[in-house]
Amino acid sequence: VSKIIGLTGGIGSGKTTVAHFIEEFGFPVYYSDDRAKTIVNDNGEVKAKIKDLLGNEAYDEQGLYDRKFVAEKVFNNNDLLQQLNEIIHPAVRIDFEEWVKKQTKYLVFKETALLFELKLNLACYKSVLVTAEDNIRIKRVMDRDGKTYREVESIMEKQMPEKEKIKLADCIIYNNTNLEDLKEQTEKIIFEIE
């Protein structure tokens, strides 16, 4: 059986970049968010539950998940958002368990923004946090997504504070400089896990 390493970080921290480096070093990565996006379209049971919760308009005429409609519906309705998450998160968890069973490497990585929030770290052998200074993260997301400073900052404010994540993480990657340094730190961490 493979050891599961949780890989996390807040918005713009660089966790996806780190995940890609990890794959380059030959280790498999499960991308929770990407899988969730597939699951809401492919899993019939999940689809039915989402329609029950939010209405048939949660899917368009082609039967595809209408992200914009759902986002508007759950915006400022925490109760509804929580119920939606209670449909999606367990399905991702099951999907991950099936994925893990198929892996043959001694280490596998699970990339998720919500590792600590959902206490998924408890099911991991080790947790790796990617972090960087707020201003740097905001700047990177502004460049990547064309969002304003304030837009990125408001997303950040809704996430678990870095301080708390740092306390919970087994290993920390500080992504304040360049990609070369980030790759070196990534390599060091993955080959030091035993």
Binding site for ligand ATP (CB under 6 A): 9, 11-17, 113, 140-141, 144, 175, 178-179, 182
Other beta carbons within 10 angstroms of residue 24's beta carbon come to: 11
Between 121 and 175, CB nearer to ligand ATP: 175
Annotated ligand binding at 13? The verdict is: yes
Annotated ligand binding at 38? The verdict is: no
How many Å separate Cα 2 from the centre of its chain? Answer: 20
What separation, in Å, do the N-terminal and C-terminal C-alpha atoms of the chain show? 14
Other beta carbons within 10 angstroms of residue 113's beta carbon come to: 18
Between 55 and 135, CB nearer to ligand ATP: 135
Between 16 and 32, CB nearer to ligand ATP: 16
Q: Are 173 and 18 in contact (CB under 8 A)?
A: yes
Least CB distance to ligand ATP at residue 143 (A): 6
Least CB distance to ligand ATP at residue 57 (A): 27
CA angle 16/183/173 to nearest 5° reads 70
Between 17 and 83, CB nearer to ligand ATP: 17
CA distance linking residue 148 with residue 142, whole number of Å: 6
Annotated ligand binding at 14? The verdict is: yes
Between 115 and 182, CB nearer to ligand ATP: 182
Question: How far are the Cα atoms of 12, 21, 142 from residue 136, in angstroms, in the given order?
Answer: 8, 20, 10
Q: Which residue has the tokens 């929030």?
A: 117
Annotated ligand binding at 63? The verdict is: no
Least CB distance to ligand ATP at residue 16 (A): 3
Least CB distance to ligand ATP at residue 65 (A): 19
Annotated ligand binding at 163? The verdict is: no
Annotated ligand binding at 186? The verdict is: no
Calculate Rg over the CA atoms of the chain: 17
DSSP 65: B
Least CB distance to ligand ATP at residue 93 (A): 19
